[in-house]
Structure 1
Amino acid sequence: MTENLGTKYRFATVTTTYITLTLTSVLGVFFYMSQTLNVLYLLLFFVLCFLICFLFIQSRLEKLIYRKIKDIYDEVSLLEATSFSKKQISTDMETLTKEIGRFAENKKLEIETLKIRENYRKEFIGNVSHELKTPLFTVQGYILTLLDGAMKDKKVRKKYLKRAEKGVERLIYIVKDLDMITKLEVGGLSLNKTDFDIVKLIKNVFDLLEMKASKKHIVLTFDKEYASQVLVYGDEERLQQVLTNLIVNAIKYGKKDGTIEVSVEHLIKNKVIVRVTDNGEGIEKEHIPRLFERFYRVDKSGSRKEGGSGLGLAIVKHIVEAHNEKIYVESQFGIGSEFSFTLEKAK
């Protein structure tokens, strides 16, 4: 505190000392030459001169610096004038330089953050546009073909209507996922938490996805035989969606004749961790931090050959976080990936 005060008033103190000594010396010489020298009066003059000069110089400096810095802030429009107080003023130039440097650094970070968010926003809009226009154009193409005369051929009509139906289903799928993730982000989706057997739920997901996995000759398996139940507390329906999305993702990017292994491990007294491991393509390190963003795809090609809404992992993250749990990902490119999330044990 003493050091701060000394720094704040250093300039005024030193300047006042020089002025007071100079004036006192001149007055002393005058008294001496007039043979009326009085040491007591000289000391009194020194004290009064010092106090008056110090107060005057300090107040004028604070007003000058405050006005100049406020003008700078107003000109760059980076700080509202109302947020700038006279209490923040220091007459020490080193302190002022540090304060302005800190201010500039903070603003630089804010600008960089805004630029990153703007890039994400542009990329997100582009991805949404791409995901929606592909099925829309597909449906439009088939309908226009039918209107141009293909409707008269029953076989062509049936085939094109079925393809148009698939395009509409994909649109509905994307819109439903968008609606769900919006509700999750704003906290508008309530969870129906109960006690249930996570091993049984995983088996159900295996049964649902067995045919999809068999098309790529991928085996869905547990890491070991679970003889007894593993009871957890959560929303069974939403957690089924989490497991389904993770396993579907592993199937999409898994290698032919590969394996997807799911394990349930006890972490601490009241937690378990569920791991979904595959020996597929793997993910490069630069993509991992953005995996859970909406519509973010590791494969930047426009083909979208694997389909999906591009929202699967984003939904997974939001559902897990809605349970106040954590999700993790580890991956080595060319070797495989592991997605894992924690759950609370049943009480």
Structure 2
Amino acid sequence: MSINFKKSYKFAIKSSFYVTLFATGLVAVLLYLFFEINYQFLALFGLATLCFSFFVLQFRVEKFIYKRVKKIYDDVSLLDSTTLRNQPITTDMATLTQDVQKFAREKKIEIETLKIREEYRREFLGNVSHELKTPLFTVQGYLSTLLDGAMNDKTIRKKYLERAEKGVERLIHIVKDLDMITKLEAGDLNLDFTRFNIVDVVQNVFDLLEMKADEKNIMLMFDMKYTKPIMVWADEEKIQQVLTNLVMNSIKHGKENGTTEISIEDLVNNKIIVRVTDNGEGIQKQYIPRLFERFFRVDKSGARSEGGSGLGLSIVKHIIEAHHQKIYVESKYGYGSEFSFTLEKAE
């Protein structure tokens, strides 16, 4: 470490002045008592004392402070060698205070971030454990019942095997979704960009989920009749998955005899925005920032009874961000929600 003296002579000048006053005064008294006072000698003596005192004090104080400041830097550098060890040491107290305060603020932020991550990790592991445990125990229960003797009854055997199959399908669905999110986050999932009509994709999603919507008598519809194609540049399969997840989510949390409406609007900068709006139960304001977290559920019990992996919205967010686009949420509790995302228009 190099030393970087930021000169601050105020202390040395004051101290030297006081030493000079005392020494000159003492010499003057001695001359008055024992010899004849020589003012020229006193002036030279005072000037010499002032200069000598100043340089000695300045040098010694800086060395004294440097040793202690260096120890502070060394002690603090044990926590973060890249931040402080490569910087010159300053003996200026204001600069030192700023450095240490900055270091303390950065470490506080880092510690708080680590705490948040640790909390998220614990919650995530707990959610993964719960999501996997439920279908696993279901499958285990049905198979154990069959092995205990129910296998001899053809009716029970078929029913339990079908239910066990559903549990396995849910496990596969969760694992596939987790694998997709991991690949999206790592940038390993390649997107196949093509030019396609987003209106046709929305209609395909409506056809796919029509029976699911009919179970709650929810109407799937456009906000208007789109007679002309709206061509976009994106991965058609992944965008269909985004729309499927959003529409499925609106059906899951929708009200009986409700509606799920999709609108497509032009935006500036050669973009469109796709809106998925429902008049369902809505989302409370405090939950909105966490909607796209893995396995996060607003209604922990009710949402699980509806099935799903709990990863749908997280996948939606990652796919849209992989397209370098934005996704938005607006919701009023008790009145419904709107999820919207942007896409690039095809030329």
User: Above 0.5 in TM-score?
Assistant: yes
Residues 65 and 138 of structure 1, relative CA distance in 2, 3 Å threshold: same
Residues 245 and 259 of structure 1, relative CA distance in 2, 3 Å threshold: same
Q: What is the aligned partner in structure 1 of residue 60 from structure 2?
A: 56
Q: Which moved more, 1:37-46 or 1:169-178?
A: 37-46
User: Using the alignment, how far apart are the partners of 2:70 and 2:14 within structure 1?
Assistant: 21
Residues 1:83 and 2:87 aligned together: no
Q: How many residues align?
A: 339
Give 2:70's aligned amino acid: Y
Q: What is the aligned partner in structure 2 of residue 19 from structure 1?
A: 19
Residues 1:284 and 2:284 aligned together: yes
Cα offsets for 1:289-325 (capped at 9, x unmatched): 1111111111133871111001101100000000011
Deviation, 1:154, is: 1.0
User: Using the alignment, how far apart are the partners of 2:82 and 2:293 within structure 1?
Assistant: 37
Residues 103 and 156 of structure 1, relative CA distance in 2, 3 Å threshold: same
User: Using the alignment, how far apart are the partners of 1:11 and 1:43 within structure 2?
Assistant: 18
CA contact (8 A) 1:271 1:345 kept: yes
Q: What is the aligned partner in structure 2 of residue 334 from structure 1?
A: 334
SS at match of 2:133: helix
Deviation, 1:99, is: 4.3
User: Using the alignment, how far apart are the partners of 2:81 and 2:20 within structure 1?
Assistant: 40
Q: Which runs of 5 or more structure 2 residues have no equivalent in the other structure?
A: none
CA contact (8 A) 2:6 2:90 kept: no
Deviation, 1:101, is: 3.8
Q: Which moved more, 1:79-88 or 1:252-261?
A: 79-88
CA contact (8 A) 1:9 1:58 kept: no
CA contact (8 A) 2:65 2:91 kept: no
Residues 1:210 and 2:214 aligned together: no
Q: What is the aligned partner in structure 2 of residue 306 from structure 1?
A: 306
User: Using the alignment, how far apart are the partners of 1:183 and 1:29 within structure 2?
Assistant: 89
Give 2:88's aligned amino acid: K
SS at match of 1:47: helix
Residues 254 and 15 of structure 1, relative CA distance in 2, 3 Å threshold: farther
CA contact (8 A) 1:73 1:81 kept: no
User: Using the alignment, how far apart are the partners of 1:17 and 1:72 within structure 2?
Assistant: 36
Cα offsets for 1:96-115 (capped at 9, x unmatched): 55544443333222222221
CA contact (8 A) 2:325 2:343 kept: yes
User: Using the alignment, how far apart are the partners of 2:9 and 2:128 within structure 1?
Assistant: 59
SS at match of 1:304: helix
Residues 102 and 23 of structure 1, relative CA distance in 2, 3 Å threshold: farther
Deviation, 1:173, is: 0.6
CA contact (8 A) 1:245 1:313 kept: yes
Q: What is the aligned partner in structure 2 of residue 165 from structure 1?
A: 165
Q: What is the aligned partner in structure 2 of residue 139 from structure 1?
A: 139
Q: Which moved more, 1:40-49 or 1:259-268?
A: 40-49
Q: Which runs of 5 or more structure 1 residues have no equivalent in the other structure?
A: none
Residues 49 and 333 of structure 1, relative CA distance in 2, 3 Å threshold: same
Residues 140 and 104 of structure 1, relative CA distance in 2, 3 Å threshold: same
Q: Which moved more, 1:37-46 or 1:261-270?
A: 37-46
CA contact (8 A) 1:263 1:275 kept: yes
Give the alignment partner of residue 76 of structure 2, picking from 73, 78, 91. Answer: 73
Deviation, 1:45, is: 3.9
Q: What TM-score do the two structures reach when normalised by structure 1?
A: 0.89
Give 1:232's aligned amino acid: V
User: Using the alignment, how far apart are the partners of 2:211 and 2:25 within structure 1?
Assistant: 103
Q: What is the aligned partner in structure 2 of residue 195 from structure 1?
A: 195
